[in-house]
Structure 1
Amino acid sequence: MNLDFTQFIPSMPYILEGIYVTLKIVILAGILGFALGIILSLFKISKFKFLGWFADAYTSIFRGTPLVLQLMLIYYGSPQLIGYQIEPYTAAILSFALNSGAYISEIIRAGIQAIDKGQQEAAMALGVPYTKMMWDIIMPQALKNILPALMNEFITLTKESAIVTTIGVMDIMRRSYQVGAENYSFFEPLLIAGLIYYVMVVILTFLGKAVERRMRRSD
């Protein structure tokens, strides 16, 4: 093997700038996906069946099709659907948020249904409004139980964000590929990109465990 990492040292700041792009996409998509997931999970446990059918159909579609397909449909299909081209950055956030919302909705639904039904019955007997009961009593307990699963979803989203390179977003992968093309050597910059993603995942895992321990101590 003829590997030479020294020739890529001058390009490291350029590659590392992709971390900021990746994190912006992941954080914004994660927040939007979490909000969407809460709404869909409440639809799934709603007494109104049509809301449950809608949420189940949504989840089935977005979990049953590849994320890269959803990304390309939003980006390349936008001129036909809405009459103008969505920016790659915006398309990435939308596709990841819509996809993540489907998975998070299932996580939150399972967390809510794992709470003892006696608590809901007691709250209703005391006259606590449904919205206040869900927001102040049920949801905080559910979030504590599903925190590890939510962190795993966020970590998965971080790794899957690499597919934005297919629509030209200047993330870590895109910058590494460009550096490789300029030097006619792709193996080293791609290994560097892999190391960056690995470090990001390790840091996120550490932060997730720290938050989980803190929440357990607060019980």
Structure 2
Amino acid sequence: MTAESGQDGLVLEDVRIALGERRLLDLACRVAPGEILSVTGPSGSGKSSLFAFLAGFLDPAFTVAGRVRLDGEDLLALPAAQRRVGLMFQDDLLFPHMSVGGNLLFALPASLRGRAARRARVEAVLAEAGLGGYADRDPATLSGGQRARVALLRTLIAEPRALLLDEPFSKLDRALRGQIRSLVFDRARRLGLPTLLVTHDEEDAAAAGGPVVRL
């Protein structure tokens, strides 16, 4: 794929990542709004390095070149906290000292003001995901599927402009994997979020239904 300038979405222009003398990847592509680009390859091929680079926490031991734009804005010029890129990992990473609702309230944009309004927003997204009434639950009491849904909701409630998914389904059993995968992909498409999926699983890439880059 080649990058297309002047287009909305996530655009990688001649991105190169190396570690010492070893070049890990050389990539130019555009991920359109609502499209899911899958990046696959064996361990050590640069998948996780690409994820970290886009998220803003790549180890300085790596050298990088190229440009990345999100909806026309230079993504690399922004600190990680200001990029508004939603992240999902292998582990759900829910805060154990917070309730389900507390986890979601933590991620809500500061622009939504008022305790009642913020609580109502949390209750609404939980109900939409089939978790109505779960706001006061301890995350430790949830099933694996419920935890995965809460992790997705926490990512989306922050109103990201794009999604980065790092093997988010790898620790789920087969039946649950398909369910959560469909939920994540459907939400990404419905919200028009350019999405990059890092995975070693060809089944995940096929289910994403978008272009595939093999490293």
Same fold? TM cut 0.5? no
TM range, normalised to the smaller chain? under 0.3
Bigger relative CO (Cα 8 Å, ≥ 6 apart): 2
> Is the strand fraction higher in 1 or 2?
2
**Comparing both structures, which one devotes a greater share of its residues to helix?**
1
Give TM-score, length-normalised by structure 2.
0.24
TM-score (norm 1): 0.23
